[in-house]
Amino acid sequence: LKKLVIAIDGPAASGKSTTARLLAKRLGYLYVDTGAMYRAMTLKVLQQKIPLDQTDQISELARKTEIRLRQDNDDLKVFLDNQDVTGAIRSPAVTRSVSAVSMIPVVREVMVREQQQMGKEGGIVVEGRDIGTVVFPGAQVKIFMDARVEERARRRQQELKTQQVDVTLDELVIEIQERDRKDTHRTVSPLRRADDAVVLDTSQLTIAQQVEAIYQEVQKLMVKG
Ligand code: DC
């Protein structure tokens, strides 16, 4: 069987991570959460107390930062300079600052190079904002996942509840819209559907149905050879 590159893009909380992780498991592929890499970089900027507008300083920091993703049974662990930051990168402070850090061209250059390295043999499900457009424009399968913002907020609320974090739906709608606005309107690699991406609106789908829908796309290609 061919080892494909599967690119999944979409706005915040559209269900990309869960879907990509389960799909990778089903295919025996590597799962890469690129948002986790931008989050880890953001955590380091916050730890070093560098103001978010200090582009040069952040760029320099990005060049000497090592971010690694490691599969650990069903979980994906994130390491920042060999420290496990899997939990820390989901904090509200990181979520608030990550769009600013990921706007910086050098930060993107460093992350994109690393992502391309991980995918050069194929056999990978990569999820983010610019995967089908910039990181792997030649990916054999491109999916653009989307869902109504109210539904995305509801899902994010459920997820936060499992971490004992209580946030109102209204707050989450605003936060998600704000992040989408920044991710869509930045000059470098904005969130955009690749022309050849298949749109998957997940507003009415269960996770199992989302995985199945992409799996079917993959099967079509496998059959064609
Ligand atoms: O997928 P996520 O919500 O964990 O991503 C966090 C942020 O990282 C997102 O708001 C924008 C940025 N990001 C990016 O710029 N490019 C990617 N390929 C993935 C994420």
pLDDT tens-digit map of 75-117: 899 999 999 999 999 998 999 999 999 999 999 999 999 999 9
Residue closest by Cα to atom 5 of ligand 1: 35
Q: Which helix (H) or strand (E) holds 40?
A: helix 34-47
Distance 121 CA to ligand 1 centre (A): 23
Distance 129 CA to ligand 1 centre (A): 6
Residue closest by Cα to atom 11 of ligand 1: 99
- Show the ligand 1 pocket: residues with CB < 6 angstroms: 12, 34-35, 38-39, 98-99, 102, 128-131, 179, 183
Residue closest by Cα to atom 7 of ligand 1: 35
State the closest ligand 1 atom to the C-alpha of 36, by its place in the atom list counted from 1.
Answer: 4
Read off the tokens for 119: 């995918």
DSSP structure class, residue 201: E
pLDDT of residue 129 exceeding 90, the answer is yes
User: Which of 18, 21, 38, 43 to mutate for ligand 1's pocket (most ligand atoms within 8 Å of CB)?
Assistant: 38
Q: How far is CA 143 from the centre of its chain?
A: 13
Place of tokens 């952040």: 58
- Cβ atoms of 94 and 46 within 8 Å: the answer is yes
pLDDT tens-digit map of 133-176: 999 999 999 999 999 999 999 999 998 898 888 999 999 999 99
Backbone dihedral region for residue 13 (phi beyond 0: left; psi -120 to 50: alpha; all else: beta):
left
- Cβ atoms of 28 and 21 within 8 Å: the answer is no
Place of tokens 């109102």: 168
Residue closest by Cα to atom 18 of ligand 1: 128
**Cα dist from 8 to 65, 70, 92, 96, 163, whole Å:** 25, 19, 24, 23, 25
Distance 166 CA to ligand 1 centre (A): 23
State the closest ligand 1 atom to the C-alpha of 9, by its place in the atom list counted from 1.
Answer: 18
Q: Which residue, among 15, 220, 17, 23, has the nearest Cα to 6 in the 3D structure?
A: 23
pLDDT number for residue 1:
61
Give the global pTM.
0.94
